[in-house]
Structures are given as C-alpha cells and as structure tokens.
Amino acid sequence: MKQPSKHLNQNLKQRLRRKLRTRARMHGTVERPRMVVFRSNRHLYVQVVDDAAGRTLAATSTLMPDLKPGLEGGMKAQAKKVGEEIARICKEKGIAKVVFDRNGFIYREGGRIAALAAGAREGGLDF
C-alpha cells in the first residue's frame, strides 16, 4: 500500500500510518489466517483472510441478515456478537488460530475493537 495523500483527514492519516506499520510485520497463512477488522461509524466488518492464497475464508458484519435480529444494545454489545459469530464460522471451517489485524484502529479498553476481540476469544478463537 502506498503512503497516504496530503489531502486526507489527519485522523485517517494516522490510522493508515498505524495500518502500514502493523501490516509490514503481519501475514496470514493457511494454519493461522489473518482476522481483519474494519470499523465504520455505524457498522463493523470482519474477514478471515489467507494471504498466501489471497482469498477470504470467512466473513461477517453487523449487516448480515442472519445476525441482524440478534443485535440489540449498544455498539460494544454488537461488536461482541460479531466476534462470537466470526468465531462460530471459523470453528465450522476448522480454523482455531488467527492473527488479529486491527487495521490501524486503536485497541482501547472498553472500545469496539476490544469488545470484538473478547467475543471472538469467548467463541473459541486463539490469538
């Protein structure tokens, strides 16, 4: 990925810089694929990617029709549900260990990224 443009929002520049720094050291394999998180203002998206083959093994988000009815509560409760759902999907596909790629988003206690990670760990994923 190339360097951020001068015309981007300062917060986005900082996130992209963090993303580039972590992605340089992180690589998903068949045995331990990369779990990528994207957080928008309203929704949360998660993919489990095998970088060696270049394909997505599992994906879910707050927009999924089968997950949407169970999403009550605030954003953190929804993030935890999405984490549990991605763990369930990964277990069905035989994936037990992943590399957690927060995609440059800050992992803070009480935040959505931390809630998603906690839900995935409770669901049985190891990272």
Q: What is the CATH number of the domain that holds 94?
A: 3.30.420.100
Output the pLDDT for position 111: 94
DSSP letter, residue 6: T
CA distance 27 to 84: 23
Which position has the higher pLDDT, 3 or 14? Answer: 14
User: Is residue 43 in some structural domain?
Assistant: yes
For residue range 58-114, list pLDDT tens digits in order.
999 999 988 877 778 889 999 999 999 999 999 999 999 999 999 989 899 989 999
Polymer length in residues for the chain: 127
Per the structure, the count of domains in the chain is 1
User: Is residue 96 in some structural domain?
Assistant: yes
User: Is residue 79 in some structural domain?
Assistant: yes
User: Is residue 19 in some structural domain?
Assistant: no
CA distance 37 to 105: 8
Task: State the Cα torsion 33-64-115-100 to the nearest 10°.
Answer: 10
User: Is residue 8 in some structural domain?
Assistant: no
| For range 15-28, the mean pLDDT | 84
Specify the pTM.
0.83
Q: What percent of the chain has pLDDT over 70?
A: 94
Report yes or no: 62 and 126 within 8 Å, Cβ to Cβ: no
User: Is residue 60 in some structural domain?
Assistant: yes
Residues 6+ apart with CB under 8 A from 32: 97, 98, 99
Domain extent, residue 89, equals 27-123
Separation of first and last alpha carbons in the chain:
25
